[in-house]
């Protein structure tokens, strides 16, 4: 009798989800690019306004807060979808 254990079966390769990866990536970019540009434009403009004209600081903080409040969730959602799409394409 042999005391050797049989070799374990090879681990199955992780399946790549190409179609869902491309869909997540496309939808994520549709969310991320416009909302990121808009949020960055308004947020950056508010920061520049605060630095160049300190007397308008209250208004600029309000604009910055509104830009982050309304644009931030869409930027986060788009970033998450892009990350998930890349992750699906890599097969992880």
- Residue 60 CB neighbours (<10 A): 20
Residue 43, both tokens: 């947020």
For the segment 59-85, the average pLDDT, to the nearest whole number, is 94
Question: Given this model, what pLDDT does residue 23 score?
Answer: 95
pTM of the complete model: 0.75
Task: Give the helix, strand, coil percentages of the chain, each rounded to 5.
Answer: 80, 0, 20
pLDDT digits (tens, 9 = 90+) for 32-70: 999 999 999 999 999 999 999 988 888 889 999 999 999
pLDDT digits (tens, 9 = 90+) for 16-30: 778 999 999 999 999
């Amino acid at each position: 009798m042999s005391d050797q254990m049989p070799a374990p079966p090879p681990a199955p390769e992780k399946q790549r989800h190409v179609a869902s990866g491309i869909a997540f990536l496309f939808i994520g970019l549709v969310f991320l690019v416009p909302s990121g540009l808009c949020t960055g434009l308004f947020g950056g403009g508010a920061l520049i306004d605060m630095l160049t004209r300190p007397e308008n600081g209250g208004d600029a903080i309000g604009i910055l807060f509104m830009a982050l409040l309304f644009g931030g969730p869409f930027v986060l959602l788009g970033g998450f979808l892009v990350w998930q799409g890349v992750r699906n394409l890599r097969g992880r």
